[in-house]
């Protein structure tokens, strides 16, 4: 189902036959802890689950990546949930807690926050291309697909 408005199109869900979609893996985006630079965790180069015990976790839309790992209980017992990125960043800047984010979702130019890679458990978000199987893409889409494959997978096809 595609929802259209004048600004964007969002796919909420779809119904397809098994095997009709093709997924091509591009890369993995590492999940880490995001906190204020003054937080005691900010001094580490990596972090494990034990270090997060007792911390006030602010759950967000990407926290589902931790479900099914040793960090599931941490997510389930989180202080609260914020889905809006602007609000989440404001709460982190105010020192209201910590969160987990994939590295590409981290606002790297933010001077008040830091990203610490999560090591135990090691969690990644898989990023890839999805397209209809046995479908010929429009020429512009073929160029974009080739560019992404070459840029993000080192030329693999």
Distances (CA, A) of 67 to 64, 96, 157: 5, 23, 31
User: How far apart are alpha carbons 145 and 134 in whole angstroms?
Assistant: 15
Output the pTM of the full model.
0.77
Phi, psi at 126, each rounded to 5°: -80, 130
User: How far apart are alpha carbons 116 and 101 in whole angstroms?
Assistant: 10
User: How far apart are alpha carbons 113 and 100 in whole angstroms?
Assistant: 12
The candidate with the shortest Cα–Cα distance to 25, out of 99, 128, 133, 154, is 128
Architecture (CATH level 2) of domain 30-123 = 3-Layer(aba) Sandwich (3.40)
Q: Is the pLDDT of residue 12 over 80?
A: no
What are the pLDDT digits (tens) for 33-82?
999 999 999 998 888 888 888 889 999 999 999 898 888 888 888 889 99
**Domain chopping of the chain, boundaries:** 30-123
pLDDT at residue number 4: 43
Kindly give the pairing relationship between strand 113-120 and strand 21-36.
antiparallel
pLDDT at residue number 3: 45
pLDDT at residue number 9: 56
Output the six-digit token pair for 130: 């999805």
What are the pLDDT digits (tens) for 77-129?
888 999 999 999 999 999 999 999 999 999 989 999 999 999 888 899 999 88
User: How far apart are alpha carbons 137 and 60 in whole angstroms?
Assistant: 34
Average pLDDT, the chain: 86
């Amino acid at each position: 189902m595609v929802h259209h408005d004048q600004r964007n199109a969002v796919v909420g869900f779809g119904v397809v036959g098994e095997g009709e979609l093709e997924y091509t893996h591009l890369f993995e985006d590492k999940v880490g802890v995001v906190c204020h630079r003054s937080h005691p965790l900010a001094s580490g180069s990596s972090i494990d689950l034990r270090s997060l015990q007792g911390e006030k976790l602010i759950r967000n839309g990407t926290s589902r990546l931790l479900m099914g790992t040793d960090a599931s209980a941490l997510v389930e017992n989180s202080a609260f949930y914020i889905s809006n990125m602007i609000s989440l960043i404001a709460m982190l800047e105010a020192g209201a807690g910590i969160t987990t984010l994939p590295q590409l979702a981290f606002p790297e130019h933010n001077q008040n926050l830091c990203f610490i890679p999560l090591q135990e458990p090691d969690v990644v978000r898989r990023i890839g291309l999805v397209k209809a199987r046995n479908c010929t893409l429009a020429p512009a889409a073929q160029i974009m697909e080739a560019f992404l494959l070459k840029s993000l997978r080192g030329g693999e096809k």
